[in-house]
Chain A
């Protein structure tokens, strides 16, 4: 079912009333196709030429226009819908309608779990979330993740977290013997590591734009 909406002048006031309605009932307009009826508007009313853009910027999906006269900004939408039937005037809900959860959001954030060790020369690239490695990461091997990296073995190679830009990403490992670690583009190599941390379980994160490595537990 599509809505026919009839905006009235003055448009700024009408749009702010629409905003208030949408805020009260976010679920009501969600992904709802609308047809804009220009009958109550004069082409010279301020805001008429930008009306469709203003509606679309609010997330409404304009599928057709009616009574638009020769308004140029309405041209792309003109006469796209034929055979529509009138179902009467829709009643806006007085009670707030909760916005449904977006359907494409999975119940848990995606992560990649690796059961085999990552051997020298192997590169694991995962740009949708966290990587969990059950084995070790060898010297000359690397894991790149957009999220955090968790290694339940020795990290002897490279771990690059927040690879698409995420300063909150972290790296955890059971045994720290890394060649290089990086978060959000900041990196640190083995030469810079505190020798006292070698072989220990550590957490690596970004503090004040610097790599910070602290023992775990």
Chain B
């Protein structure tokens, strides 16, 4: 049974696209059939992060409008054959997305993949609502600062009220992915701590991704960080997150690049 995951945040620039690519690649590395779908019509970036920007012919909007078949628009990753990308259109806007068209595409993707990862645009408008509408699981990407936390809170409210699952009276599974986390700055009080964020958002923690130069470096070469630098701290954090997403119990740590510095442990779990 395929799982549809939306990677969302409300706020822009917190790491949705980076996280979609890193989680998608790590899932594919573990043998799952994965497709990453870019819902950011008009501001597409997932193709760049995946290093597929020079192979885009057809896109999500072409498929929705019936100008291309889904198989024509899907781009196979060069490094992992079980990882595919469905790019967004850069020349259109979010109004080109129709509820019916998105429903049809997601239903079709469910048949061919184990995981469908939807990279949501920022904001709380049409694009973001359609990206989350069919999701079974939501990964809420949050930075440890107040504006990102409040925007995530808003998105969690919408996940619980506007999605297909919510309309059926069911629960959507929600996970917090805390990105750009700097333990030293959090300890100094320059940043919200993990506990602060969990207390406000009150959803289970999927992973803590440490702030790292490796993430920017991977983006610039067009490769998910989990493929580009698999032993780096952020790559290990994303891999742990993927194991938790697949149902494994993995101790919560913040991986570090510094030798000898053992990551801090978090025994806490929030319902």
B240 in contact (CB, < 8 A): no
Instruction: Say yes or no: B150 contacts A120, CB within 8 Å.
Output: yes
In the bound complex, what is the Cα–Cα distance between A140 and B147 (angstroms)?
11
Determine the residue in chain B with the shortest Cβ distance to A135: B202
- 8 Å CB interface, A154-199 against B: 156
Which of B151, B157, B200, B202 meets A122, CB within 8 Å? B157
- 8 Å CB interface, A100-156 against B: 116-122, 135-136, 138-141, 156
In the bound complex, what is the Cα–Cα distance between A116 and B157 (angstroms)?
10
Contacts of A140 in B (CB 8 A): 150, 153-154
Determine the residue in chain A with the shortest Cβ distance to B153: A120
Q: Which residue of B151, B156, B157, B160 has the most chain A CB atoms within 10 A of its CB atom?
A: B157
Instruction: Please give the distance in Å from B167's CB to the nearest CB on chain A.
Output: 15
Instruction: Say yes or no: A136 contacts B154, CB within 8 Å.
Output: no
Contacts of A135 in B (CB 8 A): 202
The interface size bin for chain B is 10 to 19
**Chain B positions 203 through 230: 1 when the CB is less than 8 Å from some CB of chain A, otherwise 0:** 0000000000000000000000000000
Determine the residue in chain B with the shortest Cβ distance to A153: B202
Chain A residues with a Cβ closer than 8 Å to the other chain, count:
14
Which of B154, B161, B202 meets A120, CB within 8 Å? B154
In the bound complex, what is the Cα–Cα distance between A136 and B158 (angstroms)?
16
Instruction: Say yes or no: A121 contacts B202, CB within 8 Å.
Output: no
Contacts of B154 in A (CB 8 A): 119-121, 140
**Chain B positions 161 through 175: 1 when the CB is less than 8 Å from some CB of chain A, otherwise 0:** 100000000000000
Determine the residue in chain B with the shortest Cβ distance to A122: B157
Instruction: Please give the distance in Å from B20's CB to the nearest CB on chain A.
Output: 23
Cross-chain pairs A/B with CB under 8 angstroms, 12 sampled: A119-B154, A119-B157, A119-B160, A120-B150, A120-B154, A120-B157, A121-B157, A122-B161, A136-B202, A138-B200, A139-B150, A140-B154
